Structure 1
Amino acid sequence: MNVTDAAYDTVHEYPGGSESLAPRMSKGMSAATLRAKVNPNTDRNLLSLQEADELMGKAGDYRILHALAAAHGFVLQRVDAPDSGSMIGALLTAAAGHGDLSQVIAEALADGKVTPNEADEIGRVCAQVQAAIAQVGQHADAAAERGGV
């Protein structure tokens, strides 16, 4: 999905569409203006970066962000800030994830070929491992802010 389609879908698939989403925007945007900004058939009155950011936050829909990342060869994985646990616990979770990834890859390679479903599973587990590793870093940042472990 491209960024333009993602913006259009974000607005039009929001419950109540532009009529209920536009008034929530900080600039008091009209529903017609919001529809025009995400209309893929026009190059006038486009959505700004700030408006796209606000739109994603208000709608709770991040397909614009994912489409932008995909257009540049990236994938995104939400990583929630640590609210409990420890850095060691996060490290152990990440290590277990590496083991899970190794298992999934071994199973995929067992017959000498990787199917599309196996590739999807490998990608899903890779994303989980990346998120777990990011949690270790977030625990380290939190510890540094606290001035201790």
Structure 2
Amino acid sequence: MNILDTAHAVAHNYPGGCESLAPRIGMSAAVLRSKVNPNTDTHKLTLQEAVRITDVTGDEAILEAWAQERGLALVRMPAAEHCSDSAVLELMAKTWETNGEIGKEVNRTFEDGVVESHEVTRVKDRIWEHIRTLFGLHSRIEGMVEGKR
């Protein structure tokens, strides 16, 4: 999903939609709807507004879409106090799960012998999820380095 479609989805998926989100970021619902509409050329969402939307909604999808468009993956950095053996084990299980999701999606893609663009997108999405999980695992282990606490 591209960044404009993502901004549209984040605003409209917020509980109460644009009508509820707009006053929290300091604009009218009509203006917000126009700014997040990828087909509107008259209003554009600014970077500061995208940051406010992310902060208010708690939804990092806009940031993730931008990172993905740039070939980057976001990783939540764990706080040292949340690093434990069980947390690492949990993340290891998650990496196995996300790796399996890639395999499932690849199998679905080749089932009919035809590879379609939306199928490639789904495979890419599963790969990005796996990459984020792997980097999260690395960060978690890094947070456990002796003397760092």
TM-score (norm 2): 0.64
Q: Report the equivalent of 2:111.
A: none
Question: Identity percentage over the alignment?
Answer: 37
Rg larger for: 1
Structure 2 CA distance, aligned partners of 1:14 and 1:24? 11
Separation in structure 1 between the aligned mates of residue 36 and residue 81 of structure 2, nearest angstrom: 37
Q: Which residue of 2 aligns with 1:82?
A: 80
| Larger deviation, residues 77-86 vs 28-37 | 77-86
Amino acid at match of 2:139: A
Per-residue deviation at 1:139? 5.0
Consecutive unaligned residues in structure 2, runs of 5 or more = 108-122
How far 1:135 sits from its partner (Å)?
Answer: 2.5
One-letter amino acid matched to 2:15:
P
Equivalent position amino acid for 2:66 in 1: L
Letter paired with 2:138: I
Q: Does 2:26 match 1:3?
A: no
Q: Distance in 2 between matches of 1:43 and 1:125?
A: 35
Cα distance change on mapping 1:77 and 1:44 into 2, 3 Å? same
Task: Flag the 1:126–1:63 CA change in 2: closer, same or farther, 3 A.
Answer: closer
Cα contact 2:78–2:139 (8 A) shared by 1: no
Spell out structure 1 runs of 4+ moving beyond 6 A.
none
Taking structure 1 as the reference length, the TM-score comes to 0.64
Alpha-carbon distance, 1:37 to partner: 0.9
| Number of the residue aligned with 1:130 | 135
Q: CA deviation at 1:84?
A: 3.7
Aligned equivalent of 1:68: 66
Aligned residue-pair number: 127
How far apart, CA to CA, are the structure 1 residues paired with 2:132 and 2:14?
A: 27
| Structure 2 counterpart SS, 1:21 | helix
Q: For the residues of structure 2 that align with 1:4 and 1:125, how far apart are their CA atoms? A: 24
Question: How is 1:1-149 mapped onto 2 (pairs within 5 angstroms)?
Answer: 1-25=1-25, 28-85=26-83, 93=88, 97=92, 116=106, 123=127, 126-138=131-143, 149=149
Counterpart of 2:112 in structure 1 is: none
**Structure 2 CA distance for aligned equivalents of residues 80 and 129 of structure 1:** 13
1:87-125 CA-to-partner distances (Å, cap 9, x unmatched) read xx59xx48x94xx77xx79xx8xxxxx9726x88x9455
Runs of 5+ unmatched residues, structure 1 = 109-113
- What secondary structure, in the 3-state scheme, does the structure 1 residue paired with 2:56 have? helix
